[in-house]
Structure 1
Amino acid sequence: MVFLHGGGQTRRSWSRAAAVVAERGWQAVTVDLRGHGESDWSGDGDYRVVSFAGDIQEVLRQLPARPVLVGASLGGFTSMLLVGELAPEIASAVVLVDIVPDMDPSGATRVHAFMADRIESGFGSLDEVADMIAEYNPHRPRPADLDGLRTNLRRRGDRWYWHWDPQFISGTAAFPPIEIIDTDRMNAAVAAILRDRVPMLLIRGQMSDLVRQETADEFLARFPQVEFTDVGGAGHMVAGDRNDIFAQAVLEFLARHVDAG
């Protein structure tokens, strides 16, 4: 099972989910997308979704055939283009985590604003970072131990900065991820995946402002083959908010469609 994080996250956002599925017999692989975490930044500013997908295609060449892809947000878009365009049937199943082709524009704007804030000026302390995250995600308790934030930040001098390449979010990249607003292309990719009879699950956070209930309903009406789980008490960061329910939903879906052995 290969986990692909969302924009502005790292592979470590899947730590608990990966541990749960590994305990159930799956090999769990988490990946830092280009420009994120410990992966290199793109020298030519190429952050197209199709380029993320090409990277993952190369990673999958080193792994057992036909893994399950679990993609959150940007990772979900990457999964759509990889399985629906670049490499049909490369995956045995696809799990989309709080993302659909026709995402809510106001929610996307809110996510973008959070990521862009302090991208140049950075933070004077980890407490500042925790305060900003708590304001963005008021339903999630502010952590008492801030050491976990270090995986999402880089220290330069006496200030902390987000781990991702500023070009990815600032609009200055030569090749931005413009595909995320190409709804027709993404819907076509999903349709191609389903035509190939690759099982698909959509997991939505009930408090998500990126995939609202009506948005999910429209997606499911368009693609009735897609299975659906709504996770109460979770926002856009479903696995981080309610990992127990999230992991169980994935495992139950896979028990119906894919053999872990």
Structure 2
Amino acid sequence: MSEGHVTTLRIDCDDKVTLVADAHGDPADPPVVLLHGGGQTRHSWRATARDLAGSGWYALAVDLRGHGESGWSPDGRYGLNKFAADVVRIADFLGRPPILVGASLGGNSSLAALGHHPELALGLVLVDVSPFLQPKGTDRIREFMSTGTEGFASLEEAADAVAAYLSHRPRPRNVEGLRKNLREENGRFFWHWDPAFLSNRAHQAVQRDKLIDPARLGAAAMSLRVPTLLVRGGESDVLSVADSKRFLELVPHAEFTDVAGAHHMVAGDDNAVFDRVLGEFLDRRVRSRLDLFAQAAQGDEE
């Protein structure tokens, strides 16, 4: 299904889960895969995807499993292995290595995938996430996600919950934009993700978050050989400056940008700055590599 220059795609995964994605731009251009954070949907990347498409990239914004219009895990389980396998499947679907841009859950899913498939991508951009995170910040996210488990009576009520969580942002006057992040059942509005995603986050016996694995993700970070950028929200309570330094020690070739004034949802807090930082990195570190590959291939043909 196509709407203007945006095409909605469906990507089948191994366990009969179908991922839904919006593709922006020319499929012949180098692909950039945009993966959102836990509890969000592909629509959080809409402005970034449009900007990338206008700059000569093929941007694919994907609903992660259990989120948005993508399918829910049939066994109700959501662990790092499943999300990482989906990232691999997305790359297979494209038929060529993309640049992976992941916020929070999307970032660690990409990192985990690269840990087992180092040639999977041409580049990696982690947005306010690393193998090392602040428990206070991640707990605050889970607390917010829990506010919607019983649903909301109206869009206004859902907007109030968002405003309380994102107190640094002005509350939108028109709440209709929230509809794409909600599903309506029996007259109530629920966040557009599988409730099992939240209940499965921590194993009750050991109180360990299945999506945060510093040892595994740290090892994956050490194996990175692709151009890498870590973007931190300057006011983030999830990724600290110390966490960022630990990551950069593991990945000395990585670049780092701190977006002043932004919180955990960096792109949403300052999309203009984020898009500029992302665009400059892609042009400088990735497009130049693609140009070299193209020149080498032309030389071989001659």
* TM > 0.5: yes
Any unmatched runs of 5+ in structure 1? none
**Cα shift readout 1:122-149 (whole Å, capped 9, x = no counterpart):** 1011111111111111111111111110
Q: Is the 8 A contact 2:132 2:214 kept in 1?
A: yes
Equivalent position SS for 1:61: helix
Amino acid at match of 2:243: T
| Matched residue, 2:196 | 167
Q: Is the 8 A contact 2:42 2:63 kept in 1?
A: yes
Match for residue 41 of structure 1 among 68, 72, 76: 72
Q: Is the 8 A contact 1:134 1:141 kept in 2?
A: yes
Amino acid at match of 1:107: G
Match for residue 199 of structure 1 among 219, 223, 227: 227
Pairing 1:209–2:237 present: yes
Q: Structure 2 vs 1, CA of residues 83 and 172 (structure 1 numbering), >3 Å: closer, same or farther? A: closer
More off after superposition, 209-218 vs 107-116: 209-218
Pairing 1:76–2:104 present: no
Matches within 5 A, 1:87-166: 87-119=117-149, 121-166=150-195
Q: Is the 8 A contact 2:201 2:211 kept in 1?
A: no
Amino acid at match of 2:185: R
Q: What's the C-alpha RMSD, in Å, of the aligned pairs?
A: 1.8
Cα shift at 1:177: 9.2
Q: Is the 8 A contact 1:47 1:177 kept in 2?
A: no
Match for residue 252 of structure 1 among 280, 288, 292: 280
Equivalent position SS for 2:223: helix
Q: Is the 8 A contact 1:66 1:91 kept in 2?
A: yes
Cα shift at 1:184: 1.0
| Matched residue, 1:56 | 87
Equivalent position SS for 2:100: strand
Amino acid at match of 1:62: F
Q: Highest CA radius of gyration, 1 or 2?
A: 2
> CA separation in 1, counterparts of 2:82 and 2:159?
32
| Matched residue, 1:229 | 257
> CA separation in 2, counterparts of 1:92 and 1:231?
24
Q: Is the 8 A contact 1:48 1:177 kept in 2?
A: no
Q: Is the 8 A contact 1:45 1:173 kept in 2?
A: no
Report how many aligned residue pairs link the two structures. Answer: 255
Equivalent position SS for 1:28: strand
**Cα shift readout 1:216-261 (whole Å, capped 9, x = no counterpart):** 2232234322100111121111111111111111111111211277
Any unmatched runs of 5+ in structure 2? 1-31, 292-302
Q: Structure 1 stretches (4+) deviating beyond 4 angstroms?
A: 176-179
Equivalent position SS for 1:71: strand
**Cα shift readout 1:119-176 (whole Å, capped 9, x = no counterpart):** 1x110111111111111111111111111100110111221011111010023899x9
Equivalent position SS for 2:87: helix
> CA separation in 2, counterparts of 1:124 and 1:55?
34
> CA separation in 1, counterparts of 2:96 and 2:247?
29
TM-score (norm 1): 0.93
Equivalent position SS for 1:110: helix
Pairing 1:2–2:33 present: yes
> CA separation in 2, counterparts of 1:72 and 1:172?
17
> CA separation in 2, counterparts of 1:128 and 1:201?
37
> CA separation in 1, counterparts of 2:54 and 2:217?
33
Q: Is the 8 A contact 1:205 1:234 kept in 2?
A: yes
Pairing 1:32–2:63 present: yes
Amino acid at match of 1:116: S
